[in-house]
Amino acid sequence: MNMQVLSDQKLLNQYLSGDQSAISSLIERHKRRVREYIYMMVKDDNVADDIFQETFIKAIRVIDEGRYIDNGKFLSWILRIAHNQVIDYFRTCKQNKQVNESDTGYNILGSLRFAEKTIEDELVSSQIEQDIRNLVDLLPKEQREVVMMRYYSGLSFKEIAEQTDVSINTALGRMRYALINLRRMIKEKNLVLC
């Protein structure tokens, strides 16, 4: 049977019935969003890979122990585990998140891809991405978190609300204030983002 068409719950049931490939399909289905979310929080590929593995190991352990309660929100649940693993990582390391000068990062507005970019276009795009990334890092924690979840992980506001244990209106409000703050910082720093 094609594993891609099965719901998360059906894959979990197959896994619990002894089909090891079902959990692999479930991990494969969600790995990009989970990995991107973790990376956006820790900004280090190696650390993100480690936390990604720890996240799914913990999830599998909870499932194996019969403690997972299906409410049709597997992705939100796995992202909550990832979020908690990131918090544990920072607690353990007691690090402040810093953007390295060599860290090119991602553009919150999505990356622009044209068929034939000139070197100048590439430099401008790279600088814009870095400027936006630096500005996002200056936002208050709650606003930064919503921006990362929305633009980097592609979560809906409903999923963001569930992930952060706030109402949808609060998540929307945080995004609104994040955008207001980003516009203000762009104006204050006289940045040109076009």
pTM, two decimals, is: 0.53
Structural domains in the chain (count): 2
Q: Answer yes or no: do 45 and 123 share one domain.
A: no
Q: Are residues 119 and 76 in the same domain?
A: no
User: Which structural domain, as residue segments, surrounds residue 90?
Assistant: 1-98
Does the pLDDT at position 189 exceed 50? yes
Same domain flag for 116 and 183: yes
Q: Are residues 11 and 94 in the same domain?
A: yes
- What is residue 173's predicted lDDT score, i.e. its pLDDT? 93
Residues 92 and 124 in one domain: no
The pLDDT of residue 98: 42
* pLDDT per position as a tens digit, 113-138: 444 456 666 666 667 777 788 888 89
CATH number for the domain spanning 10: value is 1.10.1740.10
- With 0-12 / 13-18 / 19 or more C-beta atoms within 10 angstroms meaning exposed / middle / buried, residue 45 is exposed
pLDDT the model gives residue 177: 93
* Same domain for 53 and 105: no
- Tell me: do 106 and 125 sit in the same domain: yes
Express each pLDDT in 19-73 by its tens digit: 888 888 988 999 999 998 898 888 888 999 999 999 999 998 988 888 888 777 8
Do residues 36 and 80 both lie within one domain? yes
The pLDDT-based confidence of 176 (bands split at 50, 70, 90) is very high
Is residue 97's pLDDT more than 50?
no
Give per-residue burial for 132-168: e unless 16+ CB within 10 Å, then b: bbebbeebeebbbbbbbbbbbbebebebbbbbbebee
The pLDDT, as a whole number, for residue 102 is: 39
User: Distance between CA 170 and CA 137 in Å, rounded?
Assistant: 20
Q: What is the CATH number of the domain that holds 179?
A: 1.10.10.10
Last residue of a domain, one of 98, 126, 151: 98
Specify the higher pLDDT residue, 40 or 174: 174
Model pLDDT, residue 113: 47
Q: Which of 98, 130, 157 is the last residue of a domain?
A: 98
Please report how many Cα atoms fall inside a 13 Å half-sphere around the Cα of residue 139, on the Cβ side. Answer: 26
